[in-house]
Amino acid sequence: MNLKKLRLEKSWSQEQLAEITGISARTIQRIENGKTPGMETLKALAAGFDISVAELEGVTPEKTEAMDTTVLSGGFFGSIPKEWKGFILHIVIFMFVMTWLLTLNHFFDLDKDAPGAAALIWGMALVFHLIKVILNITRRP
């Protein structure tokens, strides 16, 4: 992102950009000097320039849609696309519930076929979820 170039193309001073976006002039100075802005700051800057956050960051809309990185704040998931996050969560819940069912079945000697039937039905739902995720990602322009 070359904020200074965008600002100068509009013939704006840092103070004018600060007034338009609601961001402090000092923050604009820091960004122009290489500091990475937060998402809220990026949104405010993009709105001020009347462009998307992706365009502001220098990423083409095609790349942004392909990545679709709605980032959880750091952590394990990092910048995994949101479709995959939902699928991973689905698998984690599946494993937790199946472990719980198998444990209950073992200790209380319940119907021996119940966990297998649940795993088969839920496993099919996981396959359909996976297909949906893959199709959504491949259908993007």
pLDDT at 77: 58
Q: Is the pLDDT score of 65 beyond 90?
A: no
Residue 133 tokens read as: 């995720």
pTM of the model: 0.45
Q: Is the pLDDT score of 57 beyond 70?
A: yes
**105-133 average pLDDT score:** 90
Amino acid at 41: T
* Distance from C-alpha of 13 to C-alpha of 18, rounded to nearest angstrom: 9
Residue 34 tokens read as: 């290489």
Burial class (CB in 10 A: 0-12, 13-18, 19+), 121: exposed
pLDDT tens, position by position, 76-96: 556 677 788 889 999 999 999
For 77, half-sphere exposure in the C-beta direction (CA atoms, 13 angstrom radius) is 15
Residue predicted with more confidence, 51 or 125: 125
* pLDDT band per the 50, 70, 90 thresholds, residue 49: confident
**6-14 average pLDDT score:** 90
pLDDT at 93: 95
Residue predicted with more confidence, 34 or 69: 34
* pLDDT band per the 50, 70, 90 thresholds, residue 59: low
The whole-chain average pLDDT of the chain stands at: 82
